Amino acid sequence: MVTAGRRWRTATMTAAVLMTGTLALSGCTGEASATDTPGASGSSSVSGGASSGPGATPVVSGSPSASSPSAGSPSTSPTPSADPRPTAGSAKGPARNLPKPTMPAAAKQKTEAGLRAYAGYWVQALSYAYENNDTKPVRSVSNKECVDCISLYDSIDTNVPAGGWAAGGKLSNHLQLRDGFVPDINGQYVVIVRIDQAPYVTYTSSGKIASRSSGVNDLFFLLAIEYRGTSWSLINYDPVKS
């Protein structure tokens, strides 16, 4: 346990902390789909069975009806619209339309509720970074002095191959204030976060598995959070043994 006044570790920490696991995932292969196109038919033919006599009219079979499109007219079909529903990443493709986490108004207030709201939002933004391969939201609420934070976010970005995507990695958490709503001698509030992470897989642009983790449970962090100006900011974090 970290006591008040300890110097926070600034050694670089890789994303392997959140992606530890030995159990291999199964069922991560993509499935190609095919669309059956029926053969075209309906060509017109002329029957040679004309009646005898002058002026006989040949019998035409298979001619288009009055309601059919005229020959040579291009056929039109409606353009399919994109599915607007949120879809998690999978072996078939990247996540789509996942809602970005929204910081609650309470998270900007210097209160115990505000501190809890901020810490909860940080975990949500980190989860979004894994699930959607987008670290911008979590970076925006972390202090640039947090070397470990930046290292973690960079590793999430670089872990996904160019043109590839990520699937899984959703985080769930439980928060607890270590010393209540009381700052340490550095003016920082310490929040204990217990995190679970779902299995996490990255894919190459061709859909092959690049890396995977079976997920982790009961991973504990100490978050050092400080109120600066008008908002909370993550100053550093340390992993601790449960």
DSSP string of 11-33, one letter each residue: S---GGGTT---SPP--------
137 within 8 A of 174, measured Cβ to Cβ: no
Q: pLDDT (tens digit, 9 = 90+) per residue, 178-213? A: 888 999 999 999 999 999 999 999 999 999 999 999
pLDDT of res. 180: 87
Q: Where are the domains of the chain?
A: 98-240
Find the mean pLDDT for residues 80-108: 87
Mean pLDDT of the chain: 76
The reply to whether the predicted model has a pTM over 0.75 is no
CB 191 within 8 A of CB 222: yes
pLDDT for res 196 = 94
CATH 3.10.450.240 fits 98-240, yes or no: yes
Which amino acid, residue 24?
A
User: Per-residue pLDDT averaged across 99-121, rounded?
Assistant: 94
- Relative to beta strand 231-240, strand 200-203 is unpaired
Q: What is the pLDDT of residue 79?
A: 59
| 8 A C-beta contact, residue 235 and residue 119 | no
Interhelix angle 147-159/112-132, rounded to 10 degrees, is: 30
- Find all residues with CB under 8 Å of 90, minimum gap 6, and list them: 167
- 82-91, 100-109, 226-235: the lowest-pLDDT one: 82-91
